[in-house]
Amino acid sequence: MDAAAPARRHLSAGDLSPSIFAVVMATGIVSLALDGAGHHTVGHVLFWLNVGLYAVLAVLFLVRVVRYRPRLIADLGSHTQAPGFFTLVAASCVLGSECVQHLDASRAGLALWIVGLLCWLALTYAMLPGLMHAEVKPKLTEGLNGAWLLVVVGTQALSVLASLLAPALAADARDGLLFVALVFWLVGSMLYIWLIALIFHRILFLPLRPGDLTPPYWINMGAMAISTLAGTCLVREAGRTHFLAELRPFLEGMTLLFWATATWWIPILLALGAWRHLLRRVSLTYEHGYWAVVFPLGMYAACTQHLIWVFRLDFLEPIAAVFAWIALAVWGLTFFGLARYLLTSEHVWPSRSRSAHEGARGRRRWPASSAKNR
């Protein structure tokens, strides 16, 4: 009887996507964007939801580290999967930024910044060198996509939260933390230059199938948006320390460059999405990668808000307001898709009797990846 029964997909912590914390990133930045737009109640509701999401995913991640270490190590050594781990860095810092903005809880923000920093150090100086000296590497068309820009997003998220925490510290500690924020902003900016050159070459000069154009390519814009946010935070704090004051013209120019580049990406990405879904008819069924669309939209709204406040560009207010609501709408649709995916009858949790050593054959990551659309 068992042999004749239809196969059903089982969910386990071992099958978690490395980029699972993108859910926290997206929810957090939409919360901050709505709070910045004056919708404080909705922002606070999303904040407390995000606290719960982060706690649940952190537990599942720790279970994966303890019980499914071979799979974790395999993902860390994969050029296609490894960049997703930087969502843990970005998610910790986004949640820390929420703690500072919603609750003025600098200690909680600092604790989350330390978690993000430790993860960033491990991923940058252990995982990336491992990928660099790997003997077998994928072709550029197979191993490179927009998800690699999560390296930039995680780095800039550390810069943003450091700038937000600095005012609560004593003068000496504040100067040191602002210098750290500046260094992370500069490193993140350089990483974007290196990576986007390869990604742009991949999109423009190499064959591109509908299945290749996955939602994480929206991080092309999101990485520039968070770089804009980090830049505005540094400009805002320029009056607190001499080295930022001397660099202020440079900071302002680069920040405007980043915002303009993020804005330029939006019509391009919409056109590519129309080609993928309308012309080539790739379905819009739920996949985890769509959280990589929510985050850039929310980040663009948040960075535009900060640009308005710091640079006094009031004429940009309609753009920030519209994108805050767009981000909320896309978040709602994606969250509904996730809930439906998890609650549908064909997705069940494995029983306790299921062998922990069962082979990976027939397994799928959850939430679903974009593989089915390729």
- Position 358 scores a pLDDT of 41
pLDDT of residue 240: 87
At residue 347, what are phi and psi to the nearest 5 degrees?
-110, 110
Q: At 72, is the pLDDT very low, low, confident or very high (cuts 50, 70, 90)?
A: very high
DSSP per position, 165-181: HGGGS-HHHHHHHHHHH
| Predicted pLDDT at 354 | 42
Taking alpha carbons only, the member of 24, 73, 75, 21 closest to residue 47 is 24
Higher pLDDT, 44 or 355: 44
Q: What is the pLDDT of residue 366?
A: 55
Q: What is the pTM of this model?
A: 0.89
pLDDT score at 350: 43
7 sits in the region (left: phi over 0; alpha: psi -120 to 50; else beta) called beta
Quick one: pLDDT at residue 348? 42
Q: Which of 84-93, 182-191, 269-278 has the lowest mean pLDDT?
A: 269-278
Mean pLDDT of the chain: 88
User: Thinking of the domain 9-350+364-373, which architecture would CATH place it in?
Assistant: Alpha/alpha barrel (1.50)
Better-scored residue on pLDDT, 200 or 349: 200
pLDDT value, residue 346: 52
pLDDT tens string 334-372: 999 988 888 874 544 444 434 434 444 444 555 654 444
Percent of the chain with pLDDT over 70: 89
Per-residue pLDDT tens over the stretch 1-12: 444 444 444 567
- Mean pLDDT to the nearest integer, 283-301: 91
Q: What is the per-residue pLDDT across 115-152, written as a single tens digit (0 to 9) for each?
A: 999 999 999 999 999 999 988 899 988 889 899 999 99
Q: Determine the pLDDT at residue 5.
A: 40
* pLDDT for position 137: 92
Q: Which of 12-26, 108-122, 195-209 has the largest mean confidence?
A: 108-122
Q: Is the pLDDT of residue 332 over 60?
A: yes
Q: Closest Cα to residue 61, out of 109, 127, 115? A: 115
CB-CB contact of 192 with 230 (8 Å): no
Helix axes 219-236 and 248-274, enclosed angle (nearest 10): 160
Q: How large is the average pLDDT for residues 205-217? A: 85
Residue that is written with structure tokens 């069924």 in the block: 285
Which pLDDT score, from 0 to 100, does residue 7 have?
42
- How far is Cα 115 from Cα 93, in angstroms, rounded to an integer? 8
CA angle 254, 326, 35 (to 5 degrees): 70
Q: State the pLDDT at residue 284.
A: 79
Q: What is the mean pLDDT of residues 231-235?
A: 97
For the chain, the domains span 9-350+364-373
- Please check the confidence at residue 244 and state whether its pLDDT lies above 80: yes
- Examine the pLDDT at 205 and tell me if it is beyond 60: yes
Question: Between 309 and 278, whose confidence is greater?
Answer: 309
